[in-house]
Amino acid sequence: MSVYNQFVPSVGIENRTSLRYLTAHHVRNLATQPAVRLRPRFLSVRRVGWARPLLRLRSEVPATVHGADIYHSPLFRKHWPYGEDLDDEPQHPECPHRVIVIERALHESQLPLHWHEVPRFREPFAANCAKLLKIVEASGLEALEKETEDPALARAVRAAAAVHFLDHIAEIHRLVHVRGATRIDMDTYLSDDTLEVALMATRAALEATDAALKDPSRLAFVVSRPPGHHATRATAMGFCFLSNVAIAAHEVLKRSDKGEFSRPITRIGILDFDVHHGNGTEDCVRQQERIRFVSLHEHPQYPMTGGNPNEHGPKHNIWNFPLPAGTDWHNGYAEAYAEALNRLCSGTDRSDVVSDLDLVLVSAGYDALASDPLAGLHLKPSDYSEMAFQLIHRLKPSTPVVFCLEGGYDLNAIGEAVSQTIQGALRARAEQPQAVV
Ligand SMILES: [Zn+2]
């Protein structure tokens, strides 16, 4: 089932969600067809007022709290369907305007924020990336550790290829840079810079996690796109190409195993509150018992996985909380969230067990907002403040937390919801004396 296929004309690849299903015939068609204009239902019934000024969020964060680190890049305004422009009304919900409204809301929020622009990869990206992929194919992932030409790109490719199949990344490169394809499936479009932007999102997650591990008193929020939590080891889907949060988690475990931290990382928690099940993240971590994955999501809903709360995977590290459409904070969500935090923090159903997590990565999606055009849960922006507050409260003060943007498509609400998330997290940190500097 596709998010959008009921709204778009057929291009002959219905029900195909994997790059591997694309035959040469399909690829030729994709390479020659004009970009298909997606007109999802919500855009046809109301204008997206992304240029409307957002409400200013009043800061309730004590001045003693260090603040939050925001990772961003102008590159996250690239990657969009061919023929579209920032001045146009976006025709696809996963659009660059998302990061623009979030950054603007954060600037207006008066929250104590520290802005970190992630530098671009060196030019020429396509050739450099192709070279790295060939090195991995010929000599294995470890060969990239010695690459000095663009170490940041080498690290992003190596970390991504440690989680995804190498063919998955190489195929995106081929489709974008060799064949000029315009989409992977009915939902997931491609443009000239898709792989570069996706790898930048991976790099931002890696660098935010590095910094958070160095100074756990800090909180980080990565304002990146495209999202990642639907990308499985082998498949790009649901607007996602690389499973950034899973990649960051595996990279931390690898570094820990090499003795790069003062004490080993024994357990990482991934909390996914995007309204869609994080099927990609789950696929990428289900064989790693040191990563505990907890997802709250609407079900049934795209991608139609994560519906069985009693299926915990071969390593018993998966906890899914499917919720029916219409659920709001006071009608089921708060209760499920409390249970989800219990599982995240200890793997048990108890709220009085001290968290055993050394790091928490949050797949922060904002499409559970009541006003989101793609789904049916009914959260308010202020609910995200409470969710972040409760999360931080359940963790030890020394636990680093990194939020990475996933979905969220109401351009009038996601900025405020992200601001509320950071505000709630900082308020909770303020109540943890050890975390105050
Ligand atoms: Zn989503």
Q: 361: closest CA among 417, 295, 307, 275?
A: 295
Q: 91 forms bridges with which residues in the sheet?
A: none
Q: From the CA of 294, how far away is ligand 1's center (Å)?
A: 15
Tokens 């990475």 belong to residue: 404
Please state, in angstroms and rounded to a whole number, the distance separating the CA atoms of residues 362 and 193. 26
pLDDT along the chain (437 residues), means of 10: 34 27 28 32 34 44 76 96 82 96 97 97 97 97 93 98 98 94 92 97 98 92 98 98 98 97 96 98 98 98 98 98 98 98 97 95 98 98 98 95 98 98 96 58
> Left, alpha or beta for 380 (phi > 0: left; psi -120 to 50: alpha)?
beta
31: enclosing H helix or E strand: helix 24-32
Q: From the CA of 303, how far away is ligand 1's center (Å)?
A: 9
Phi, psi of 283, deg, nearest 5: -60, -35
What is the largest distance, in Å, between two alpha-carbon atoms of the chain? 62
The torsion of the CA quartet 394, 397, 400, 405, rounded to 10 degrees, works out to: 50
98: enclosing H helix or E strand: helix 97-108
Q: Look at the chain and count its residues.
A: 437
Q: 86: closest CA among 101, 73, 72?
A: 101
The torsion of the CA quartet 260, 68, 282, 241, rounded to 10 degrees, works out to: -100
Instruction: Tell me which amino acid residue 87 is.
Output: D
Q: Output the six-digit token pair for 234.
A: 């082998």
pTM for the predicted model, two decimal places: 0.87
- Catalytic residue annotation: 230
Q: From the CA of 243, how far away is ligand 1's center (Å)?
A: 13
DSSP state of 233: S
Q: Domain 41-118+200-431 classified CATH 3.30.70.990?
A: no
Reported as a single tens digit per residue, the pLDDT across 80-134 is: 887 788 888 888 999 999 999 999 999 999 999 999 999 999 999 999 999 999 9
Start-end of CATH 3.40.800.20 domains in the chain: 41-118+200-431
Reported as a single tens digit per residue, the pLDDT across 406-430 is: 999 999 999 999 999 999 999 999 9
Q: Output the six-digit token pair for 1.
A: 């089932």
Q: From the CA of 273, how far away is ligand 1's center (Å)?
A: 9
Q: Output the six-digit token pair for 102.
A: 């979030």
Q: From the CA of 289, how far away is ligand 1's center (Å)?
A: 25
Tokens 């498509």 belong to residue: 409
Q: From the CA of 28, how far away is ligand 1's center (Å)?
A: 30
331, HSE (Cβ side, Cα atoms, 13 Å) = 9
